[in-house]
Structure formats: structure tokens, C-alpha cells
Amino acid sequence: MSSSWHTRPPEGHELAGFTARARKVLQLANQEAQRLNHDYIGTEHLLLGLVKEDVGVASQILSGLGFELRIARCAVEKVAPPNSHAATTGILPRDTRAKCVIEGAIEQAKKLKHPHVGTGHLLLALLVPEGAKGQQVLVESTICSEELRAKVVAVLQDTDWGRLEEFCLYGTAVRPANLLASATTSRRSHASSNLRDFLWALFIGGVVGLLTESWGVFAVTVGLVVLENLSRPLGSTP
């Protein structure tokens, strides 16, 4: 458990424990509010940010339920129509319920004993405020809040998914290496990654990253395949 939860962050540093993807969600929420010419960031904009982020836990779960960006935007515009005023710019203020979601996400992470706040925690917190527009959008899109909450909690309690988002806090080279090492020890039924696994993963991830100029899913996938084959005895078959 990170010591970052022991004391409340100073004013203006409330996002100190957020993953890169969770921070990206807040940036995208600001962009979506600007697109609609709204002068605030509400829960409906946070929901759009979660969908638009496109990679994190929340986005994957919502997408799996058929709630994609085009659908989300149409649903949001029904409950919060675009303004015809002059375009809004800059960093917009969060309304009271959006602030509650930020604070709620921190509490969700603490409750699950996670050291950082990810997109999944934001989505869980978004399901709490009664009557919030973000929740209203989900209801009108026939998404069951309880079913969604259960899916998010199930994913967040899975170590590998939790690590997938947590490592966005660190360098891109370390992120796939940790995932690959974790996968290796999982196959060997070890409790945690050892140094050899990590070094193998770092080497393989580094080679693939140099060849592809990317640390994305491709690097992780190729690395897993290589490690799977390296872990087999010579002459064995899959």
C-alpha cells in the first residue's frame, strides 16, 4: 500500500496518485466539455472521457457493453445539449458532482487497497452520485449500473489488469517488462516476479520495442509468445 494514501494531498495536487490513463480521462473530459461549449466539467463529460480514452479498464468494459464514443456522445447530448454560446477554452472547472467523483475514485482505490487511482476507480465512483447526468446517460442507454459495477470490481480485483494500468505511471520500457514477468511467474505458479523473469521480459520487450518503435500491445503479445516458448523444455510440443 502506497504511503500516498496516509495523508490528504495538498490543494491542487489531488491527482498525485492517479495513473496516466486516469489523468488522460480528465483531459479528455475537458475537451468534450469544450466541444459542447459547456463552461464546466460534469459527470457526463467524465463519462465521455472514460469512453474516449480507449485503452484503460473503464473504456474496455464500456466498449464490451456496446457503449462506444459515438453512442455515448449522442446520449450525453440528449441530457446536456450543446450550447450556442461562444466556444469555451482552457481548463474548465468541475461541478460539485464531478468533484465528488474524483474524491470517490480515491476512496474506491483505498477500499480495494490499490496504490493508485485508475480509470476503473473513476468509473466506480461515477456510478455513485444519485441523479448525476453521467449515471442518467448510462441508465437511458440501458446499461445496468449494478451489472457494470460488478464487472468493474471483478476486473480491478484481478492483479494483472490492475498492474496493466498502474504501470502507466512509470516509463514505457518498464511497463511491458513488468507485465511479461508477471505472466511468466503466473504460468510457473510463483507468488511474485523474480529478477530473472523481469530481466528476460525487459530484454525481450526492449528488442521488440526497438524494432517496432512501440511499447504497445504488439510488444507485449510478441514478448509473451517468446517467453512461452523459452519456458518449454527443448523438444517439447505446445
175 and 133 in one domain?
no
pLDDT at residue 22, rounded to an integer: 94
Question: Which residue intervals of 112-194 are DSSP H helices?
Answer: 119-126, 133-140, 145-156, 159-166, 174-188
Clarify whether residues 147 and 188 are in a common domain: no
Closest CA to 47 of 3, 5, 78, 17: 78
Task: Classify 18 as helix, strand or coil.
Answer: strand
Whether residues 155 and 181 share a domain: the answer is no
Determine the pLDDT at residue 221. Answer: 52
* Predicted local distance difference test score (pLDDT) of residue 200: 60
What pLDDT, on a 0 to 100 scale, did the predictor assign at position 86?
74
The CATH number of the domain holding residue 48 is 1.10.1780.10
Residue 238 domain flag: no
Same domain, 111 and 221: no
Q: What is the pLDDT of residue 17?
A: 87
Q: What is the rounded CA–CA span in Å between residue 166 and residue 105?
A: 14
Residue range(s) defining the domain that contains residue 48 = 3-160
**What is the model's pLDDT at position 195?**
55
Structural domain count of the chain: 2
> Does 85 reside within a domain?
yes
Specify the pLDDT at position 193. Answer: 46
Last residue of a domain, one of 103, 138, 160: 160
pTM, to two decimals: 0.67
User: 180 and 137: one domain?
Assistant: no
Question: 128 and 10: one domain?
Answer: yes
Chain CA centroid to CA 92, Å:
22
At which of 137, 160, 183 does a domain end?
A: 160
pLDDT for position 84: 85
pLDDT (tens digit, 9 = 90+) per residue, 126-164?
Answer: 999 778 999 999 999 999 999 999 999 988 887 555 555
**19 in a domain, yes or no?**
yes
Residues of the chain with pLDDT under 50: 1-12, 167-193, 217, 234-235, 238
Is 235 a member of any domain?
A: no
Both 177 and 138 in one domain: the answer is no
